[in-house]
Amino acid sequence: MAIAQASTSSVVGKSVKRIDVQEKVTGAAQYTDDIAFGNALHHCRVKRSPHPHALIKKINYDKALLIPGVKLVVTGEDFPEYVGLYLQDRNIFARDRVRFVGEGVAAVVASTEEIAEKALDAIDVEYELLQPVLDPEFGASKEAPIIHPDLEKYEHPNFIFPVNGTNMANHFKIRKGDTEAAWPQCAAIVEHTFRIPQVQHVPIEPHVAIAKAEENGQVTLWASTQSPFAQRALLAKSLHIPESDFRVIAPLIGGGFGCKAGVTMEAIPVAAALKLKGVPIKLLLTREEEFYTNFVRQGLVIKLKVGCDKDGNLLAMENTMYWDGGAYTEYGVNVTRAGGYSSTGPYDIPNMRTDSICVYTNHPVGGAYRGFGMAELHTGVGQIMDMLADKIGMDRTEFHLRNCVRGGDVLATGMVIHEVGLPECIDKVARALKLGEKEAPSAPNKLRGKGIALAWKAPAMPPNAGSSALVKMNADGTVNVSVGGQELGQGTFTAMAQIAAESLGVPYEAVKVLGPIDTRYSPYEWQTVASRLTWSMGNAVRNAALDAKKKILDIVAEAWNEKPEDLDIKDGYVISYKTEESIEIKDFVVYGLPKADDQGWLGGPIVGAGSFMPTYVTGLDAETGQGERAVVHYTTGAQGLDIEIDKDTGRITVLYAASAFDVGKAINPDMVRQQMEGGFVQGLSSAMFEECQLVGGEMRNPSFVDYRIATAIDVPEKIDTFIVETAQDDGPFGARGIGEHPLVPVIAALANAIYDATGVRITNPPFSAEKIYMALLEAGVVN
């Protein structure tokens, strides 16, 4: 088992150096060569649909089986079971019909990848084309062809609300107050429809998995995954394998951002391995496949209407969202739910009506993406609030401060929100940006503007998503921490080492976090998603460390004839506040302490165990969305940009950015700032460049030649980050998550800055140079 070891000493709230992970290769690639598996390693390739919607009439693979080196061909006929996290709506291979371009209809296993690829051409599939659904608003209408006729048969939890006989996989509603009665009281009302496209996660490391099934029923999956325990549970259920016989090993992965959550392509090599036992089978997606055959961020059509009184106080909002869930919505239905209960954005609105609808389309599958629907939602909400402030003639900072959520407010779901530091975040960003001060551009052909937008996000998860951890003391005084959450490059192992060290009372450099994650040996963790690990897994680690600490102090208290409450552990020593006696923990945490007069021993090997699960999240009414506590908590914040636009080209230059978020408690301030910077850059990338160009259901830009992402030249020279700390009552040392949130408000903030610079509203991202130039030309800003 590889070890991630802390390298410098510090405690919670300090910016210690990240752990030095002792892995030869980052990612599942380390398990995927012939050195690891010998010449037995087989390779898998997938026959994919060229059509967005069609019936499968016939699959003939006889010719493929005749090719030397081909070992196996599997199809949907071999695996009729469904798989899915929140809605079990998907087969491992398409069976009666295909529902998106790139859907797998068969897989070939061969001795080499080249042979497997060649064999795909020998598989003949006969299709009968069907009308595709390519727009979510149309897909929700009665005129649209039904993509999933068996929707009523799909299993789902009680907080997902499919509408049988339609393409609506989930319809989440909020009904609070009376919007119709509120509209006549409004001094200003703004309505607008925003369209946000699908984008790709583009992790450096593509999806890769290896599966091996033994004759004795044991199955092992090595995968680049954020969800080893969820994968084990979902695939074991679908393929009728006892969970105790299914092992998932998840090495460090080269980027995830949500696309490696749940189950996607990993099911294919497992299915193949069950048909060809005794040999490991590898499936590695090409970069082109990565773009459109797995999760994408869902597209969204969001229709907003919002109004305020003459003093700028928000009175009402109506929010109708049509989420383009794609061909399968087993994960996307919960994105829709999250968008629904957060549909006000971080604003206090007394009258609210929301319809958040997840719609089946014949587009690529929508799933988890950093922000989990919040970037799409806030693209609309953040802009329409700016539009309303402009219409009422109110300073934007004043408008946001007047209407933002504060501790004690009753949210749209009826939940009373905990204390938040959002007003402080707004103030810090506005001051840093000098919002309201018009500054001169750098040249006559440049236009300059500033924009601000707010954000909030709650961990989107089931009410019973749990974490667990083990803390094992070693004879040399070091501490091994075992967790089930994944290290994605976000620094979670570092944070866990700090929490363990602080809670236990040992130096940071004494703590080692074990990896890779292995469901056979690692303690349970729901998934590495939702910006929840610092909070949830951190609580489990803290509880495990405190359990170990209690055992240590109990031993010493008995040996010294003292009370445990008079003892403490500092820098690896047990000390007595009463007698000032001390003993180094390495002297007894494995072998114990002798009793007086050689009358036996006290203690023994110390292992602490801890777990955490929020037990207080309640259900919400299906018709009104009302309930006592919709989510565990919200992280809130604000972001601002100062930009210039070249009138001759439409090109944006971001001069400066400011970001402030209330993280409860910064376990490691430097890593928090890095999350703010990284999230901002990823958000800026989707705001300026990124879009899956879907034409007739087919992605036209599935490569980095045509799909541009932000690089160093697009980033402002200076990004100021401000950490606000309003303690979370149920977080370890008051901490809550920050991994996704800095991405959320960027699109809206940039759109507002573009308007401030040009006087032209361009609402639908990406805000490319061409789009901006054409809008300026049409508005007469340039000739």
Dump pLDDT digits (tens) for 282-317.
999 999 999 999 999 999 999 999 999 999 999 999
Tokens of 538: 């951190």
* Range scoring the smallest mean pLDDT among 11-25, 516-530, 685-699: 11-25
- Mean pLDDT over each residue of the chain, to the nearest integer: 95
Q: Cα 623 from chain centroid? A: 27
Instruction: Give the residue among 298, 194, 302 at the shortest CA–CA distance from 765.
Output: 194
Residue span(s) of the chain under CATH 3.90.1170.50 come to: 35-129+220-277
Q: How far apart, in whole angstroms, are the C-alpha atoms of residue 120 and residue 138?
A: 35
Q: Please tell me the predicted confidence (pLDDT) of residue 22.
A: 44
CB within 8 Å of 141: residues ≥ 6 apart: none
CA distances from 347 to 234, 385, 399, 422, 636 (A): 37, 10, 10, 10, 11
Q: Would you say residue 161 has pLDDT above 90?
A: yes
Give 313's DSSP letter.
-
Instruction: Give the residue among 385, 381, 369, 383 at the shortest CA–CA distance from 335.
Output: 369
Q: Would you say residue 4 has pLDDT above 60?
A: no
Q: How far apart, in whole angstroms, are the C-alpha atoms of residue 403 and residue 347?
A: 6
Instruction: Average the pLDDT over 513-542 and give the result.
Output: 98
What's the topology of domain 299-461+619-779?
A: Aldehyde Oxidoreductase; domain 4 (3.30.365)
Instruction: Give the residue among 188, 42, 62, 207 at the shortest CA–CA distance from 122.
Output: 62
Tokens of 231: 């994968």
Q: How many residues does the chain have?
A: 783
Instruction: Give the residue among 524, 568, 530 at the shortest CA–CA distance from 546.
Output: 568
Instruction: Average the pLDDT over 698-721 and give the result.
Output: 97
On whether the 35-129+220-277 domain is CATH 3.90.1170.50, my answer is yes
Q: How far apart, in whole angstroms, are the C-alpha atoms of residue 718 and residue 700?
A: 35
Q: Where are the alpha helices (DSSP H) in 689-763?
A: 746-758
Domain 467-612 class in CATH: alpha beta
525 is catalytic: no
Q: Would you say residue 24 has pLDDT above 60?
A: no
Residue span(s) of the chain under CATH 3.30.365.10 come to: 299-461+619-779, 467-612
Q: Would you say residue 28 has pLDDT above 50?
A: no
Give 613's DSSP letter.
-
Q: How many CB atoms lie within 10 A of CB 571?
A: 14
pLDDT in tens, 163-187: 999 999 999 999 999 999 999 999 9
Tokens of 284: 């590695």
Packing angle, helices 422-433 and 396-403, rounded to 10: 170
Q: Would you say residue 269 has pLDDT above 50?
A: yes
165: left (phi over 0), alpha (psi -120 to 50) or beta: left
Side-chain-side CA neighbours of residue 322 (13 Å): 17
If you write DSSP's letter for every residue of 454-474 in order, what string do you get?
EEEE-----TT--EEEEEEE-
Burial of 587: CB neighbours in 10 Å, binned 0-12, 13-18, 19+: middle
- The 3-state DSSP class for residue 593 equals strand
Q: Would you say residue 10 has pLDDT above 70?
A: no
Q: Would you say residue 5 has pLDDT above 60?
A: no
pLDDT in tens, 473-511: 999 999 999 999 999 999 999 999 999 999 999 999 999
Q: Would you say residue 8 has pLDDT above 60?
A: no
pLDDT in tens, 302-356: 999 999 999 999 999 999 999 999 999 999 999 999 999 999 999 999 999 999 9
Side-chain-side CA neighbours of residue 554 (13 Å): 10
Q: How far apart, in whole angstroms, are the C-alpha atoms of residue 692 and residue 697?
A: 10
Which position among 424, 690, 691, 740 bears the catalytic label?
Answer: 740
Q: How far apart, in whole angstroms, are the C-alpha atoms of residue 485 and residue 29?
A: 19
Instruction: Give the residue among 320, 386, 385, 383 at the shortest CA–CA distance from 353.
Output: 320
- Whether 21 and 252 have beta carbons less than 8 Å apart is answered as yes
Locate the DSSP E strands across 614-743.
635-646, 652-662, 694-695, 698-699, 718-724
pLDDT in tens, 605-616: 999 999 999 999
- Whether 220 and 211 have beta carbons less than 8 Å apart is answered as yes
Q: Please tell me the predicted confidence (pLDDT) of residue 37.
A: 66
pTM score of the predicted model:
0.96
Instruction: Average the pLDDT over 33-51 and give the result.
Output: 82
Burial of 6: CB neighbours in 10 Å, binned 0-12, 13-18, 19+: buried
